[in-house]
Amino acid sequence: MLSKSYTYKFLFIAFLGIHIPLIGLIFCMIFRPDGISPLSVFTLILVLTLVATSITLYVLNSLLTPLKLSKNALEQYLFSKILPDLPTDYKDEAGILMQKVQETLTKLDGLLEDKKDLISILSHDLRTPLANIKLLGGVIAKDDITKGELREIASLIQVSVNEQMSLFNDILENLRNDDLEWMKLDLNETSTNDIISASVKDVQHIAKSKNINLKVNDDYKGKLNVESTIFPQVIKNLLSNSIKFSQPGCEVHLNIEKNNGKTKISIIDNGVGFNQEDSEMLFEKFTSMRRRGTNNEPSTGLGLYLSRKIVEAHKGKIYAKSAGINKGASFVIEL
């Protein structure tokens, strides 16, 4: 009980500190009852008191170690954003407190990173619909556009704006509720057809502007348990990337199939590709492998990082494959 109770440790040390001089005096009286001068008694009690005080201070200082470590860890994180690595071998209340401090700071640090990712999603995913609207605006400005084409473009602009408003509303609602753990998604059964159709429609005009043919092979027509607003962003990101890094006149394939209980979504292109040993670097935040597209399109180095975060929040995985530079690439989502 003593090893697990911080209170009992203090009481035990206080007991020893108070009683060491008394115990020493009792032993002295028992074994040398005669011939003890008052000065000897005074000296003995003084020495034993100093010894007891030293021992008590030393042990108390050891008992305060978890509290000191916790204090220093909090100050380091608060002022320097250094995540501590506190020991976990203390078993009393102070040790448990220190463990809780470590767990709380680790969780808080993760939540702050998630919030940064959320802000990154806002800044990153805004670009696709804005680029679409800009592109569609350029088409509208052409002299030879027909009324039918104009109505179609207006409809596409409206769809793009509505989807972005829906994404904004979901994220802002989480922020209003101080829900930093935005990766706790509201999953719903959503048809693959709806997901794929929305994703393809959103990037169709980007593909058309580069004369790239999008081909969809949806062998599996079922439902996915996903967040219906956020998950399609992954497919849009992957399609946008494949279009960005493919040469004009090429094809980009989107395949979806069900195999061994897993839904597999693949985006395949024959664009610039990469060395397979560098595949994991593509998913790093602000990856050093980011580069401009084949038509000099800009790249933030965030899209694949955010896509992996979203897929992993859905308990899935995403990975990339390529036969090498200029040999195309494929990005695969498995749920």
Q: Share the mean pLDDT of the chain.
A: 80
> Does residue 188 fall inside a structural domain?
no
The reported pLDDT for the residue numbered 144 is: 75
> Does residue 261 fall inside a structural domain?
no
The reported pLDDT for the residue numbered 263 is: 92
The first and second tokens of residue 27, run together, are 């032993």
Torsion sign over Cα 81, 121, 215, 221? positive
The reported pLDDT for the residue numbered 288 is: 66
Residues of the chain predicted below pLDDT 50? 1-2, 174, 177-182
- Rg, C-alpha atoms of the chain: 33
> Does residue 259 fall inside a structural domain?
no
> Does residue 135 fall inside a structural domain?
yes
Number of domains in the chain: 1
Rounded-to-integer distance, Cα 299 and Cα 292, Å = 6
End-to-end CA distance of the chain: 49
pTM across the whole model:
0.56
> Does residue 170 fall inside a structural domain?
yes
> Does residue 172 fall inside a structural domain?
yes
Q: What number of CA atoms fall less than 13 Å from residue 301's CA on the CB side? A: 10
Alpha helices (runs of H) in the chain, residue ranges in sequence order:
6-31, 38-63, 65-80, 93-125, 127-140, 147-176, 192-209, 231-244, 303-313
Which residue range is the domain that position 133 belongs to?
A: 126-178
The reported pLDDT for the residue numbered 68 is: 84
The reported pLDDT for the residue numbered 266 is: 95
| Backbone torsion region of residue 244, taken as left when φ is above 0, otherwise alpha when ψ lies between -120 and 50, otherwise beta | alpha
> Does residue 132 fall inside a structural domain?
yes
The first and second tokens of residue 308, run together, are 């992996």
In angstroms, the Cα distances linking 100 to 178, 207, 230, 254, 326 are: 22, 51, 33, 46, 51
> Does residue 189 fall inside a structural domain?
no
